[in-house]
Chains A and B, each alone.
Chain A
């Protein structure tokens, strides 16, 4: 079955610490990969996406993610987090190119202490 898993459910960091959130998916074919962020009281926003090409993808607000096909992983990273990065982060995968259906992971709550 198509599935997406995020390893960290709740992460607490101090400002300036480095962040890495794990994401793995179950399928071995061609996939489109996404990271979304949901700030408190706001809508889901796209941080970055990978369709093809360079497996290191840069997104907004200093975030980046690396696609490792052999590990079915798409981990999100940020070298130095800020208090304003406190939010919920979701990894999502589109398993078919002819659909808009996204399969989401269960999310990671990031709390950044000032």
Chain B
């Protein structure tokens, strides 16, 4: 058990729709990072949240946005879905901003 929980596990959306993915970090962790893992590729960093603010961002368009709540849980929102957004979305939590990442099992998003 990784301790990082993500929901839902699978999701199918239509092109143009919006989606929200959720992540609860490991107990005691206050920092959350999100990654996109396309089929056959390594995970790519989307952004990191700490103290309810986006602290660092990868090379993703503004359609990708996030939020962190006071209880440290986090959401990833993607607007105007494209077929290319189909991927496994991974959440990782950290004890502190720069410490080791613990990954959840991911949400498999399919855009049709």
Q: B45, B58, B99: which has the most chain A beta carbons within 10 Å?
A: B45
A70 on the B face (CB < 8 A):
no
The reply to whether B42 and A105 form a contact with Cβ atoms under 8 Å apart is yes
A90 on the B face (CB < 8 A):
yes
The chain B residue with its CB closest to the CB of A94 is B98
Q: Please give the number of chain B residues whose Cβ is less than 8 angstroms from any Cβ of chain A in the complex.
A: 27
The chain A residue with its CB closest to the CB of B96 is A100
Per the bound structure, the CA–CA distance linking A45 and B106 in Å amounts to: 13
Interface string of B61-104 (1 = CB under 8 A from A): 00000000000000000000000000000101010011111011
Residues on B with beta carbons closer than 8 Å to the beta carbon of A45: 2, 103
The reply to whether B42 and A49 form a contact with Cβ atoms under 8 Å apart is no
Q: Which 9 pairs show the lowest CB-CB distances between chains A and B?
A: A104-B42, A44-B103, A43-B105, A43-B2, A100-B94, A106-B42, A104-B43, A43-B103, A107-B42
Q: Which residues of A contact B (CB under 8 A)?
A: 4, 6, 36, 42-46, 49, 90, 92, 94, 97-107
Q: B31, B42, B55, B58: which has the most chain A beta carbons within 10 Å?
A: B42
Q: Which residues of B contact A (CB under 8 A)?
A: 2, 4, 31, 33, 35, 40-45, 48, 55-56, 58, 90, 92, 94, 97-101, 103-106
Per the bound structure, the CA–CA distance linking A4 and B94 in Å amounts to: 22
Per the bound structure, the CA–CA distance linking A44 and B101 in Å amounts to: 10
Could you list 16 A-B pairs, sorted by A, with CB under 8 Å? A43-B106, A44-B43, A45-B2, A94-B98, A97-B98, A98-B98, A100-B97, A100-B98, A101-B56, A102-B43, A104-B42, A105-B42, A106-B40, A106-B42, A107-B40, A107-B41
The reply to whether B45 and A103 form a contact with Cβ atoms under 8 Å apart is yes
Per the bound structure, the CA–CA distance linking A45 and B1 in Å amounts to: 10
Per the bound structure, the CA–CA distance linking A1 and B2 in Å amounts to: 32
Q: Which residue of the partner chain, among B4, B44, B97, B106, contacts A99 with CB atoms under 8 Å?
A: B97
The reply to whether B98 and A90 form a contact with Cβ atoms under 8 Å apart is no
CB distance from B81 to the nearest CB of A (A): 23
The reply to whether B105 and A101 form a contact with Cβ atoms under 8 Å apart is no
